[in-house]
Structure 1
């Protein structure tokens, strides 16, 4: 996997990869979830745009401080040496989205309502599976492929130089 052109090869590329995925994710997942909660309208979308910068910071910090370390410890327990790139990416995406959707189902409610309450815990079994499903498919079909394409393009350009 070290020579894989679809993944970051150093810290600078890792930051770019994270930025691409997080910006796409926050700008698609948050409006869909808020729209399902409050209805899809221009006013709801504009309200969502106001919280997106805060959610983006929370997402990046959650990835770096919580999901990354947790997934890093869990992945080796499930991945074998003969498992291919797609299997590794799918499991990595599944585990990251699981951790992040659990955290953000709670924190996102607090940010969206501008108050810390027990409400997200009361509704957790209702909102988390929906949030997980939305986030998983956005990650798998949109954010991750775009970020991997960007890495592949970057590496091809570097190889030409």
Structure 2
């Protein structure tokens, strides 16, 4: 998949890809989850905007230091050489969202409430499946396709310039 036009092909593109996905994800997933917790209103949305920069940093760190390494080791055990691009992307997304939602269902509650407590653990089996579902569908239907579209357009432009 290294030469796939819809994926980053170097570190600079990888950073852009991560930036696009993380910005879209944090700006959609966090408001939806907070809205489900506290109700959907303008005040709740504006409160959510205050935590989004912190959540964005946390998400990027978790992707680079936790989810990326775990999924990087597990993914080759589940995909075969003949598996297509879509199958690989779907499994990669599923694994990344699983790892991140497990962590963020706890950390996100702490950031949102402004305190480290046992609350996310007492409600964990109630909030994690919901958070996973929201994150998975946003990643699969919005964030990932937009980031892959940007990569495809960038690579097409580079190919034209090199031709």
Q: If the length of structure 2 is used for normalisation, what is the TM-score?
A: 0.98
Question: Unaligned stretches of 5+ in structure 2?
Answer: none
Residue 76 of structure 1: aligned partner: 76
Partners of 1:97 and 1:3 lie apart in 2 by: 24
Distance in 2 (alpha carbons) for counterparts of 1:130 and 1:146: 23
CA RMSD of aligned residues (A): 0.3
Match of 2:65 in 1: 65
User: Secondary structure of 1:5's match?
Assistant: coil
Q: Which residue in the other structure is 2:54 paired with?
A: 54
Instruction: Name the residue aligned to 1:128.
Output: 128
Could you list the structure 1 runs, at least 4 aligned residues long, displaced by more than 4 angstroms after superposition.
none
Residue number in structure 1 paired with 2:142: 142
Cα distance in 1 for partners of 2:159, 2:87 equals 26
User: In the alignment, what sits opposite 2:17?
Assistant: 17
Q: Match for residue 112 of structure 2?
A: 112
Q: Which whole-Å CA distance do the structure 2 matches of 1:3 and 1:56 have between them?
A: 28
Question: How many residue pairs end up in the alignment?
Answer: 161
TM-fit CA distance, 1:140: 0.1
Shift of 1:3: 1.4
Report the Cα offset of residue 56 of structure 1. 0.2
Q: What is the rounded CA distance, in whole Å, between the counterparts of 1:68 and 1:94 in structure 2?
A: 12
- How far the C-alpha of 1:2 sits from its partner, in A, is 1.9
Deviations 1:89-140 (A, max 9, x none): 0000000000000000000000000000010011000000000000000000
Aligned-partner SS, 2:105 = helix
Task: Using structure 1 for the length normalisation, give the TM-score.
Answer: 1.00
The corresponding residue for 2:89 is 89
The CA distance in 1 between the partners of 2:4 and 2:80, in whole Å, is 17
Matched, 1:30 2:25: no
2:32, 2:2 → 1: CA distance?
A: 35
